[in-house]
Amino acid sequence: MNDKKLIITGVIIFIFILIFPFLYNLGGTTEFIDPVLSEKAKAAKFCVVPKEDMKVEHMQILDVWRDTVVRKGERVYVNSDGKKFTMSLSTGENSCLGCHNNKAEFCDRCHDYASVRPYCWDCHTDPKEIK
Amino acid sequence: MLETALKGTKRYWGLLAAFAVVMGIGFLIYLKQFDFGLGITGMSRDVSWGFYIAQFTFLVGVAAGGVMVVIPYYLHDYKKFGKITILGEFLAIAAIVMCLLFIVIDLGQPMRILNVWLHPSPGSVLFWDTIVLNGYLFLNLLVGWIVLQSERNAVPPPKWIKPFIYLSIPFAFGIHTVTAYLYCGLPGRHFWMTAILAPRFLASAFAAGPSFLILLCFIVRKYTKFDPGKDAIQALSKIVTYAIIANVFFLVCEVFVAMYSGIPSHMDHIKYLYVGLHGHGALVPWMWASVILMLLAIILLVNPVTRRNESVLMAACIFVFAGTWIDKGLGMISGGFVPSPLHHVNEYIPSVLEVVLSLSVWAAGFFVLTILFKMAVSIKEEVNA
Amino acid sequence: MENSRRKFLKVAGASALGMGMAGTAVRAIASGSGNKPKTMKNDNALTAKHWGMVIDTRKFKSHKDVQKLIDVCHKIHNVPDFEYLGEHKQQMHEIKWMWEEEYKHAFTDLNYKYVNKRVEHLPFLVLCNHCENPPCVKACPTKATFKRDDGIVSMDFHRCIGCRFCMAACPYGSRSFNFRDPRAALNLKEETVSGFPTRMKGVVEKCNFCAERLAIGKKPACVEASNGAIAFGDLEDPESDVRKLLESNYTIRRKQGMGTEPSVYYIV
C-alpha cells in the first residue's frame, strides 16, 4: 500500500481537530474567582429557593419563570416562606438583578469561568449597564 | 453502494470540486448572515420573504416532479421508465436537500429550528410542510436505495418496498400541495388567495421536474455508457407538454378572474408583475420573458416533428425550466408582497450576497445530485457490462 | 440524511427528557419546606375578558398629536430607530409597533374618490389589532405568537424562530422583523431604557397592548399619554368605557371583511 502519507496526514488532521478546543482556549482565564454576593443579597439571606438548589437549578427555574410570565401572564412568585418576588431578570427592586445588583461579579464570573454565554443578555438589560 | 461514488474520472472529481468551491463561498456568506442577520438580503418589512423562499417553492416542485416517472412505471406498468425511475427519485432527493437548506438559511434564528417539533402546532401549515418534506425525503432515500441495490444484485426488489413506493406518490403531491397552502390560506394576500394555487404549483412542478430530468438524461447519455432510452425521453417530453400547457392555462385562469372581476386588490399584483404599478415594475421584463419562454416551449413540444428532434427538445426543456423558474422562483413570492396589504408599493430586489448564497445552495444540491447519479449510473454500467 | 434524521430524533428525545427532568427538579424544590410555592398575578394587575381599544380620531388634529404617542410607545419598549442608516435601509429594516397612516392606507377597502376631506387627511394611528381570530397565531409553527385569555395577541421572543410566516399572514402589516441587531441603533443613541428588554436579531415583534404595564395596574402607555383620545377597556363588560363609546358612536374597524375581528375600533 502506498497510502502511508495519506493516512498520516489524515491522522494529524484528526488529532488537530480533536485538540482544537483546548488550543483555542489556551491563554484564557482558568483561575476560578468566587462570585461576590451583593450587600443586598447578603442582607436578604434567602433567595427564591435555598442557595444550594439555586446553584444547580437557576437556569431551569428561569426557564419555567419565563414561560409563566410570558405565556400565563403571572409575574409574582411566592416561595415556601410566603415571600413574594417579581419573576423578572431586571425589572424593579424585587427582580433578580434588583437584589443581585452586581451582575459582573455575580453572574458573569461563573459564566465566564464555565465558558457559558447565556443569551439572556442579548435582550434583557442590566440596569447598571445602561445610563 | 457508496463506494461507487468514490471511484471516478478526473471530470467527475473536477465537477464535485467546482460545486464544493461554490458551496465554500456560500458557507462564508452564511457565516456573515448568521452574524449580522437577514439584513444582508434585499428583504424588507413589506417584502418579508424573498429569493430564498422562492427558490424553496420552485424546488419543491422539482422534487414533486419525480413522481411523474414513478406513476407510469409502478401504477401503469410502463416498462420503459424502469431505467430512469431511479434518476427521478435521486433528483427528488437532491431537490429536497436544497429545499431544506433554503428553509434553514431563511430563518432569523436557525438555532431554534427544533422548536417546530418541540412545540408542534398542527394549525400551522409550516409545521405540516416540514413533516411532508422530511417524509418524502425519507421515502425517496429508502426506495431509491433498496431498488438500486436489488438491481445491482440482479434480484427483483423485495415485496415490502412496494407500500413505500405507493406511499411516495401521495407524498409527492402532498409536498407541493402543502407548500401552496402556505400561501393560499393567508387573508390579505390576494395574489395567492386562489383555490387553484396548489393545482397551478403541481402543473408547473410536473413541467419543471421532468424537463430537468430530460436534460439530465441527455447529459448522462453523452458522458456515460448508460442510455436512458429514446422512448423514455420521448414519453417524458409528452408529460412535460401536458404539464406546461396546464400551467399556462392556469395562469390564464388567474389573470381572467382577477382582471374580469375588476377587484383592485386582486388586479394590483398582476398589474405589478406584468405592466408595473405606480411606476414600479422591476419584474415586468422577467415576467414577459417567462410567458414567451413557456409559449415557445409549447409550440415546440406540441408539434411531434419538433418534439422528436432531440436538439429542439433540449431547447424546449431549457425554455420550460427557465420559464417556470421565473414564474415561480422570481415572480410568485415578490408578486404576492407587492403592493403591501396597506397598498404601499415597496419593491424587492435581492442583494448580491443573497443571490450568491442561493447559488451556493443550488451548488450543494448539484453536489448531492452528482454523487447520487454517479452511483446510479455506475451500477447500471456494472449490470450491463 | 437518514443518519441525520435519526440523530435529530435522538436530540429531540433527549431534550424532551431533559425538560421533563427540569420539571421534576423544580417541583422537588417546590415541595421542600413550608407552603407550596406558587405563581400569581400582581394584586393590582388590570384584568379583562377581552381587552379592546377605541381611538377617537376626531381628537387627533395633526401629525404632532400622533407622533407624541408613537414616541412614548417606542421609547418604553426599546424600539430601535435606524435613522442613521439612511432613508432606504431605514424603511426596509424599520421596526414599528404603532405608526401613522393615511386613511386610504389604513382603510384600504373604505377608500373612495369623494371621501370627506377631513377624514382623507386625518392622521390615523395604527397598531396590532389584537384580532379575535388572529391569522398570525394560526400561522406560527412554534406557538411563539399566541392569544392570551384576555384577548391580547402576544409574542414569546424566546421561542420565535424568525420564519416570518406571521408577517405574511397579518393583513394589517402590524409585524416587524429584526433584520439586524436592534441594540446597534439603541446603543448608538444611548437610548435603551430599563424595565423592558430589547429584542435580538432574527425575531419578529409587534405591539403587545402594554401587557407588562397591565400586569402592574397601568393602562397602555399610548392610552395614558392620549389625554382621553384613546379609550381602553374590557369589550365584554357592558359598563366599560370602550363599550359605552361603541354604544354612543359609530365606529369602524380595519378590513372588516377579513373575519379577523379586530379589537381596535376607530371613531371618525
Q: Domain B2-384's class?
A: mainly alpha
> How far from each other are the two terminal CA atoms of chain A, in whole angstroms?
69
**Cβ–Cβ of C171/B341 closer than 8 Å?**
yes
Let me know if residue A100 belongs to a domain.
Answer: yes
Q: Where are the alpha helices (DSSP H) in B330-351?
A: 332-337
pLDDT, average across residues B43-71: 94
Query: How large is the average pLDDT for residues A64-70?
Result: 93
Identify the CATH number of the domain defined by range C51-267: 3.30.70.20
Residue B145: closest C-alpha in chain C: C2
Question: Mean of the pLDDT values across residues B357-371?
Answer: 97
8 Å CB contact of C146 and A71: yes
Tell me the pLDDT tens digit for each residue of C206-218.
999 999 999 999 9
Residues of chain C found within 8 Å of residue A72, distances taken between Cβ atoms: 39
pLDDT at residue number C31: 46
pLDDT for A93 equals: 85
Whether the pLDDT of residue A22 is over 90: the answer is no
Task: Indicate which of A63, A65, A79, A96 best probes the interface with C, i.e. most C CBs within 10 Å of its own CB.
Answer: A79
What residues have CB less than 8 Å from B129, skipping those under 6 apart? Answer: B175, B178, B179, B182
C197/A124 CB distance under 8 A: yes
Which of C34, C37, C200 lies at the smallest CB-CB distance from A123? C200
Within a domain: A96: yes
Q: Which residues contact C17 (CB under 8 A, 6 or more apart)?
A: none
Among B109, B142, B345, B369, which would you mutate to test the C interface (most chain C Cβ atoms within 10 Å of its Cβ)? B109
What is d(CA B98, CA B325) in angstroms, rounded to the nearest whole number? 15
pLDDT in tens, B302-356: 999 999 999 999 999 999 999 999 999 999 998 999 999 999 999 999 999 999 9
From chain C, the residues in CB contact with B354 under 8 A are none
Mean pLDDT of B245-250: 97
> Is residue C6 over pLDDT 50?
no
Higher pLDDT, C35 or B160: B160
Residues 160-189 of C with CB under 8 A from A: 183
Q: What is the pLDDT of residue C188?
A: 67
Give yes or no for a contact between C124 and C102, defined as CB atoms under 8 angstroms apart.
Answer: yes
**Minimal-distance CA residue of chain A relative to C27:** A61
**Looking at the partner chain, which of A61, A73, A87 has a beta carbon nearest the beta carbon of C26?**
A61
pLDDT reported for residue C100 = 96
User: How far is it, in rounded angstroms, from Cα A107 to Cα A90?
Assistant: 13
- Contact status of C92 with chain B (Cβ, < 8 Å): yes
Query: In chain A, what residues touch C158 (CB-CB under 8 Å)?
Result: 66, 70
Is the CB of B115 less than 8 angstroms away from the CB of C144?
A: yes
pLDDT value of residue A51:
87
Which residues from A are below 8 Å from C25, CB to CB?
56-57, 60
Reported as a pLDDT band with limits 50, 70 and 90, residue C159 is: very high
CB contact C138 to B (< 8 Å): yes
Q: Which residues of A touch C212 (CB under 8 A)?
A: 91
pLDDT at residue C5, as a whole number: 45
Q: Please answer yes or no on whether C215 and A73 come within 8 Å at the CB atom.
A: yes
Beta strands C230-234 and C51-56: pairing type? antiparallel
Half-sphere exposure of B322 (CA within 13 A, CB side): 16
Q: Is the residue at A5 inside a domain?
A: no
**C24 vs A6: which has the higher pLDDT:** A6
Number of CB pairs, chain A paired with chain C, less than 8 A apart: 95
Question: Given an 8 Å threshold on Cβ–Cβ distance, is C160 in contact with B109?
Answer: yes
Q: What confidence category does residue C53 fall into, taking pLDDT thresholds of 50, 70 and 90?
A: very high
3-state secondary structure of B340: coil
Q: What angle do CA A28, A31, A35 make, to 5 degrees?
A: 115
Q: Where are the domains of chain B?
A: 2-384
Q: How far is CA B61 from the centre of its chain?
A: 4
Q: Where are the domains of chain C?
A: 1-38, 51-267
Which residue(s) pair with A11 in the sheet? none
* Global pTM exceeds 0.80: yes
Q: Amino acid identity of C257?
A: G
Q: From the CA of C251, how many Å to the nearest CA of chain A?
A: 30
pLDDT at C9 over 60: no
Is B241 a residue whose pLDDT tops 50?
yes
pLDDT of residue A125: 87
Letter for the amino acid at B244? I
pLDDT in the model for residue C33: 53
**pLDDT tens digit string along C101-147?**
999 999 999 999 999 999 999 999 999 999 999 999 999 999 999 99
Measure in Å the smallest separation between the Cα of A75 and chain C Cα atoms: 6
pLDDT at B232: 93
pLDDT tens readout for residues C221-236 = 999 999 999 999 999 9
Contact (CB<8Å) C200/A74: no
Q: What percent of chain B has pLDDT over 90?
A: 93
How many residues are given for chain B? 385
Distance from CA of C240 to the nearest CA of A (A): 22
Contact C195 A72 (CB under 8 A): no
- Measured CA to CA, the distance from residue B213 to residue B221 in angstroms comes to 12
Nearest CB to B126; choose among C105, C160, C163:
C163
Is C150–A75 a contact, with Cβ atoms under 8 angstroms apart? no
- Supply the ipTM of this predicted assembly: 0.91
Overall number of domains in chain A: 1
pLDDT value of residue B72: 93
Residue A93: inside a domain, yes or no? yes
- Closest CA relative to residue C265, chosen from C74, C160, C168, C132: C132
